[in-house]
């Protein structure tokens, strides 16, 4: 990574301080901030800034801009999956999706992941490094640039565990929400965690109006332990207690992500047990038939089974949906583009 400060990684007060420090008027910071969030990456395009200040900025700062390494576009529904590369050779996946309610982008928060969920391609080679807030913002801005569309929703659900990089993800959310920056409403921001309880507690305090999703994927510790090593540190009982506390504190509905893996967690008994554990909670279950990843050897549940699972939940009063399969005509499983590219750059140990 470059030593010079990245303008995309600065909140407005930091930029104002920097302007004061170099003898410029404070209002310049707002002008630069606006340019940064309009996607400008060339200082010379900041036309209301003097040539002298532009030269100073060029010399002393950078604007992170990931390089588009690969793109896959779905003919069926407009989904676009990008592989963006940073200057140190790390690459991350970002996905642009079109919904009835607007355009959504799913960003990565780390290059790799150390949580080791068994069904996930993103964690196979472990964690390379955390992304900075500026790098995560640059995924959103690059997705706008590549798609030519305005982004209305942001989901932190790509590669990485957001609460394992809490400080940078929190700063990213503040940049995204800043009225003078990207200006996205908190209600249109969702963060998904595999269940790091201290992160859930902090998130409830720091961002009570944003949305929280939990990768649950199992109805009990026995099954969850075989799928998600994190369950050893944060088992189901305290995790679900933290989730209840979150909904009580924020009055926000929590989403549980549940990937259906054939023969593992997709039986009717599993559905009944899940319903018992979530009973009375302000929540919604998002069922995701697994996309097969050759490295994991796991198989997804068929549609009929997924519907039967959903019906059991609904009959017990737990709202559930089966996630609409976006990008089914492209290489859809999360983390696969990056895994292939990363193994070219860092051969697996």
Which residues sit at the interface with ligand SF4, rule CB under 6 A?
113, 115-117, 120, 122-123, 159-161, 194, 215
Write out the two tokens for 289. Answer: 């038939």
Q: Which is nearer to ligand SF4, 61 or 301 (CB)?
A: 301
Residue whose token pair is 């599993």: 270
Instruction: Considering the complex, state which of residue 8 and residue 338 has its C-beta at the smaller distance from ligand SF4.
Output: 338
CA distances from 266 to 138, 147, 216, 295 (A): 38, 36, 13, 21
SS3 202: helix
Smallest gap from Cβ 335 to ligand SF4, in A, equals 7
Nearest approach, Cβ of residue 74 and ligand SF4 (Å) = 22
CB of 192 vs ligand SF4, minimal distance in Å: 8
Closest CA to 214 of 249, 303, 334, 230: 230
Which tokens sit at 162? 């957001």
Per-residue H/E/C for 141-200: HHHHHHHCCCCCEEEECCCCCHHHHHHHHHHHHHHHHCCCCCCCCHHHEEEEECCCHHHH
Cβ partners under 8 Å of residue 84, min gap 6: 66, 67, 68, 69, 91, 92, 93, 94, 138, 139, 142
State which residue, 160 or 199, has the beta carbon closest to ligand SF4.
Answer: 160
CB of 65 to ligand SF4, least distance (A): 24
State the minimum distance, in angstroms, from the CB of residue 253 to ligand SF4. 21
Closer residue to ligand SF4, CB minimum distance, 12 or 334: 334
List, in sequence order, every residue forming a beta bridge with 254; answer none if it has no partner: 283
Minimum distance, C-beta of residue 230 to ligand SF4, in the bound complex (Å):
7
DSSP 8-state symbol, 253: P
Min dist. Cβ of residue 121 to ligand SF4 (A)? 8
Cβ closest to ligand SF4, residue 230 vs residue 310 = 230
Rounded CA separation 282/243 (Å)? 9
Of the residues 106, 117, 243, 334, only one is catalytic, namely 334
Q: What is the C-alpha separation between 214 and 222, in angstroms, rounded?
A: 18
120 is catalytic: no
Asked if 93 is an active-site residue, the reply is: yes
Distance CA 310, CA 321 (A): 7
- The structure tokens listed for 316 are 């017990």
Identified catalytic residue from 93, 135, 161, 257: 93
Give yes or no for a contact between 144 and 95, defined as CB atoms under 8 angstroms apart.
no
Query: Whose Cβ is closer to ligand SF4: residue 24's or residue 266's?
Result: 266
Cβ closer to ligand SF4: 113 or 173? 113
Q: Residue with structure tokens 């992160």?
A: 199
Give dist(CA 158, CA 32) in Å, integer.
29
Give catalytic residues, as residue numbers.
Answer: 93, 334
């Amino acid at each position: 990574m470059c030593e010079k400060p990245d303008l995309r990684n600065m909140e407005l007060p930091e930029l104002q301080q920097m302007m004061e420090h170099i003898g410029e008027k404070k209002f310049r910071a707002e002008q630069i901030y606006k340019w940064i969030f309009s996607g400008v990456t060339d200082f010379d395009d900041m036309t209301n800034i003097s040539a002298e200040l532009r030269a100073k900025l060029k010399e002393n700062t950078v604007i992170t801009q990931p390089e588009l390494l690969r793109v896959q576009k779905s003919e069926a529904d407009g989904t676009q999956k990008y592989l963006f590369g940073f200057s140190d050779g790390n690459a991350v996946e970002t996905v642009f999706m079109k919904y009835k309610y607007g355009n959504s982008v799913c960003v990565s928060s780390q290059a790799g992941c150390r949580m080791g969920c068994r069904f996930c391609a993103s964690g196979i080679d472990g964690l390379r490094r955390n992304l900075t807030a500026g790098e995560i913002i640059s995924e959103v801005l690059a997705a706008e640039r590549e798609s030519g569309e305005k982004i209305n929703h942001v989901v932190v659900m790509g590669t990485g565990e957001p609460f394992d990089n809490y400080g940078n993800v929190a700063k990213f959310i503040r940049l995204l929400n800043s009225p003078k920056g990207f200006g996205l409403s908190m209600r249109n921001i969702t963060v998904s965690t595999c269940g790091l309880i201290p992160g859930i507690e902090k998130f409830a305090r720091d961002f009570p109006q944003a949305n929280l999703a939990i990768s649950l994927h199992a109805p009990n510790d026995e099954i969850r332990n075989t799928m998600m090593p994190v369950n050893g540190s944060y088992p189901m009982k305290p995790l679900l207690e933290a989730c209840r506390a979150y909904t009580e504190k924020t009055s926000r509905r929590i989403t549980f992500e549940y990937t259906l893996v054939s023969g593992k967690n997709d039986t009717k008994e599993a559905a009944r047990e899940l319903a018992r554990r979530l009973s009375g909670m302000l929540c919604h279950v998002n069922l995701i038939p697994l996309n097969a990843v050759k490295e994991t050897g796991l198989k997804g549940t068929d549609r009929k089974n997924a519907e039967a699972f959903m019906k059991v939940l609904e009959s017990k009063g737990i709202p559930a949906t089966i996630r609409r399969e976006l990008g089914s005509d492209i290489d859809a499983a999360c983390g696969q583009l990056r895994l292939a590219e990363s193994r070219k750059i860092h051969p697996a140990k």
